[in-house]
Amino acid sequence: KQEVTQIPAALSVPEGENLVLNCSFTDSAIYNLQWFRQDPGKGLTSLLLIQSSQREQTSGRLNASLDKSSGRSTLYIAASQPGDSATYLCAVKGGATNKLIFGTGTLLAVQP
Amino acid sequence: KAGVTQTPRYLIKTRGQQVTLSCSPISGHRSVSWYQQTPGQGLQFLFEYFSETQRNKGNFPGRFSGRQFSNSRSEMNVSTLELGDSALYLCASSHGTGGTTNEKLFFGSGTQLSVL
């Protein structure tokens, strides 16, 4: 059974700092991994999707990497801004069930 | 282009009642999936529909059901509500053409259901 864990559960950083969020999964037979952000009381916004054959994806100040063999992904946020404050979730899709399994989330606070 | 629309935004029900939630996907999207989000269990997959057919379902009791209409709009129903059904219910859509394995999902803002 696929399990997805995110570390840390919460993170507070000063504005301008570069930071890394971690995601680990137990079953490496995945089709893809997605990173989402969720603002309080709102739905999810897809940030990056990495297919199983890819190693990383970049969008603006965001860079996500995927190491399938070790069951790990990282989301790198450069030059953080207060507007980046949100909960960040990773999710993997794959295996026999082809269901999207979400991680536990990292609550990020960027202090001005 | 309008996003994914979920109605109602908030809902209060009592135990034993039933509830129907609605989701209108982005125009042109044919795949709709539903998720339950609670503080204790996080985000969990409920079911996925494509062209009016249920393509996948999560590990929820039979009280949870859904359907998709010919215009791709989807509804989910929960019968005999329990206190533990209180949650944010999220709907997501994607194109669905050629399969949904590597498609980005677009989420609605959700329906916050409170069961008293």
At residue A99, the pLDDT reads: 85
pLDDT above 70: percentage of residues in chain A: 97
pLDDT at B71 over 90: yes
The partner residues of B111 in beta bridges, in order of sequence, read B89
Backbone angles phi, psi at A43, to 5 degrees: -80, -170
Higher pLDDT, A104 or B2: A104
C-alpha to C-alpha distance for A87 and A70, rounded to whole angstroms: 24
Residues of B in contact with A44 (CB under 8 A): 90, 92, 105, 107
Quick one: pLDDT band at residue B100, thresholds 50, 70, 90?
low
B102–chain A Cβ distance below 8 A for any pair: yes
pLDDT tens track for B38-47: 998 999 999 9
Mean pLDDT of chain A: 93
Quick one: pLDDT band at residue B101, thresholds 50, 70, 90?
low
At residue A94, the pLDDT reads: 79
Asked if B42 and A102 come within 8 Å (Cβ–Cβ), the reply is: yes
